[in-house]
Amino acid sequence: MKWIVEIVNGLIEVYKTRNVYELLDLLEITLIRKKLINDEKGRFLRDMFGNEYVYVSNKLSDEEEKIVIAHELGHLILHTHMTTSYYTENHLLNKEQIEIQANKFAAELLISNDVEIPEGMTTKELACYLEVSEELVKLKYKDVI
């Protein structure tokens, strides 16, 4: 998934930020917080006019909201050919792979390459230290931990 790392690094280089809220603003993506159905945490939407939206559950902590926004940004940036209906209605689509790609995007965006990993930390401890999920830590440091 080196291509995802390159895309995220390019995004950070162009926009000079890895802050998800700043990126939403700079990319003109509308953030909407609301109660989502089926306990969803987030969803992306690209309408037929080219407008893009990230919906996040209004029940998330600040930390979790950043992770969900980064994940949904991953969908919008990596999967430009997809609309929400295409994603939800296409049964032939490899959704697991698409979700892993969006999570890899989130991991690369939220965890700086400059972070020094304290020696001896477990994945769980590192996730707490970095304020991300364990899954994102594993995706970021797959070959390290």
What pLDDT score was predicted for residue 53?
A: 96
Strand order in the sheet with 52-57: 29-34, 52-57, 42-46
pLDDT tens-digit map of 125-139: 999 999 999 999 999
Amino acid 144: pLDDT: 56
What tens digit of pLDDT does each residue of 65-124 get? 999 999 999 999 998 876 554 445 555 456 788 889 999 999 999 999 998 888 888 999
Report the b/e string of 9-38 with b at 16+ CB within 10 A.
eebbeeeeebebeebbeeeebeeeeeebee
| CA angle (95, 99, 104) in 5-degree steps | 150
Domains within the chain, CATH numbers bracketed: 2-114 (1.10.10.2910)
The model carries a pTM of 0.88
